[in-house]
């Protein structure tokens, strides 16, 4: 009897082990840990640097701890996938070229990869490379490389009826904030700038100025949150802002899965071919990626908030993606519109195709053409030019027809004249 019981248990165990989906690759994108204000507003009572010994826009001890604990969470979640012994063949880490994101990546890795053998006694740390690109040259993560077409589209966004109405609706709030902050407040971005500073100062238990009681946080919260959606508010904006990032991750997943016939499989030396990629960025990085995928609920992404992309293979050899957003202790699974929670990789790539663009194509699309300088908007310009060309073509056809008709009449008159002379 016991033999049969253990045999059934063994068979069930083998079955479930066989059916366990394999984790193939992970990409994580996180915001840096807690920081000091980047640039206090002009009338800020705490704008003196003496209040911020580490400097403006710098990672605080609390921020280092947040990232260290996030790294420990990664170790717990992916311990069976990534060896505790660091290997360059397993992982690649990229950060924006900013102190707080570079330090966040390092603090995170200290928690993710505690040393197995101390190279210095009592030093619970090992060096792991973190790579970065100058912000003005980085279209992938900082997303600040020059793109004239994006700048033009972003400027035109303010002319849309929704944003024009927004300025009217919040005129009094803008005026109030301008009066007391000492800086001109005229859009959601400048509201967010003040809101963010006040939030940090409150977290340091600083007493906020009396004027803030009337507007902070409630009356400023919506506009502050909206500002994070504006960079990728339309498909065109999303493509030019996050297109290179989505190109990288889709190409990476194609390579790792090996499911796409004819797709170039990069060599093992290619850093983007490693099975675990870490990106250290900003609140805007998190918001831009989520909003481009249609998964952003208006909010200010908190410190150390994280997006997780997990590629898995089923027992039938098909591959799918799981998406998670961790903005608290437990990650929330996200469902891409048009897909399931277990999103087929091919379908995932298909859904993101409109906002995915390779670096070469991105550079071309960022270039302004003469159409962009016409006053009707890009699509309106195309319609206007099409109508102009059509009108020109019709005019030419009419001129040709008139010339032909005139020629026939002249020929007929000449023929009649010659005929009468011959007679």
**pLDDT-based confidence at 394, cuts 50/70/90?**
confident
pLDDT of residue 14: 44
pLDDT at 11: 46
> Looking at 44-58, 196-210, 256-270, 290-304, which range is the least confident one?
256-270
Hey, what are 79's tokens? 């311990």
Q: pLDDT tens-digit profile of 59-85?
A: 999 999 999 999 999 999 999 999 999
Q: How confident is the model over 89-111, as a mean pLDDT?
A: 98
| pLDDT value for 397 | 74
For the cut 50, the answer to whether the pLDDT of residue 266 exceeds it is no
Catalytic residue list? 32, 283
Helix (DSSP H) and strand (DSSP E) numbers for the chain? 13, 8
pLDDT at position 385, please? 57
Position 329 scores a pLDDT of 82
Q: Which tens digits make up the pLDDT trace of 340-385?
A: 999 999 999 999 999 999 999 999 999 998 767 666 655 656 666 5
Confidence label for 13 from pLDDT (cuts 50, 70 and 90): very low
Got the DSSP string for 6-49? HHHHHHHHHHHHHHSPEEEEEEEEEE---B--SS--TT-TT-SG
The residues pairing with 59 across neighbouring beta strands, listed in sequence order, are: 35
With a cut of 90, say whether residue 421 has pLDDT above it: no
Residue 405, token pair as written in the block: 């008709």
CB 250 within 8 A of CB 260: no
Q: How much is the pLDDT for 395?
A: 72
The model's pTM is: 0.84
Question: What is the mean pLDDT of the segment spanning 158-173?
Answer: 96
pLDDT band at 419 (very low <50, low <70, confident <90, very high): low
Q: What pLDDT is stored for residue 289 in this prediction?
A: 99
pLDDT at 226: 99
Cβ neighbours for 135, distance < 8 A, ≥ 6 positions apart: 96, 97, 98, 142, 144
């Amino acid at each position: 009897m016991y033999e049969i019981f253990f045999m059934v248990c063994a068979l069930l165990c083998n079955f479930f082990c066989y059916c366990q989906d394999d984790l193939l690759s992970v990409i994580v994108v996180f915001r840096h840990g807690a920081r000091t204000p980047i640039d206090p507003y002009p009338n800020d009572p705490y704008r003196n640097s003496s209040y911020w010994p580490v400097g403006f826009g710098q990672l605080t001890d609390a921020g280092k701890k947040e990232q260290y604990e996030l790294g420990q969470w990664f170790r717990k979640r992916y311990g069976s996938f990534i060896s505790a012994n660091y290997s360059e063949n397993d992982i690649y880490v990229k950060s924006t070229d900013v102190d707080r994101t570079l330090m966040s990546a390092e603090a995170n890795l200290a928690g993710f990869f505690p040393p197995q053998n101390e190279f210095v006694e009592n030093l619970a740390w090992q060096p792991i490379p973190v790579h970065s690109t100058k912000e003005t040259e980085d279209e992938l993560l900082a997303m600040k490389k020059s793109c004239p077409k994006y700048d033009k589209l972003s400027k035109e966004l303010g002319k849309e009826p929704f944003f024009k109405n927004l300025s009217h609706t919040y005129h009094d709030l803008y005026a109030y904030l301008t009066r007391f902050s000492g800086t001109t407040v005229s859009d959601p971005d400048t509201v967010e700038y003040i809101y963010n500073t006040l939030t940090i100062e409150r977290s340091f238990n600083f007493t906020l100025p009396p004027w803030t009681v009337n507007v902070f946080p409630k009356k400023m919260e919506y506009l502050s949150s909206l500002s994070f959606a504006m960079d990728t508010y339309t498909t065109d904006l999303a493509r030019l802002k996050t297109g290179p990032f989505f190109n990288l991750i889709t190409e990476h997943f194609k390579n790792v899965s090996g499911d796409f016939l004819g797709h170039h499989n990069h060599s093992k030396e290619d850093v983007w071919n490693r099975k675990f990629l870490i990106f250290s960025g900003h609140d805007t990085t998190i918001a831009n990626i989520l909003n481009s995928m249609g998964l952003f609920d208006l909010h200010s992404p908190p410190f150390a908030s994280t997006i997780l992309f997990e590629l898995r293979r089923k027992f039938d050899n098909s591959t799918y993606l799981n998406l998670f957003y961790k903005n608290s202790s437990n990650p929330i699974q996200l469902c891409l519109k048009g897909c399931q929670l277990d999103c087929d990789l091919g379908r995932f790539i298909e859904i993101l195709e409109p906002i995915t663009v390779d670096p070469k194509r991105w550079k071309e699309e960022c270039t302004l053409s003469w159409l962009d300088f016409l006053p009707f908007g890009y699509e309106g310009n195309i319609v206007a030019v099409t109508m102009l060309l059509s009108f020109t073509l019709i005019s030419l056809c009419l001129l040709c027809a008139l010339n032909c008709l005139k020629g026939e009449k002249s020929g007929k008159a000449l023929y009649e004249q010659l005929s009468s002379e011959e007679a």
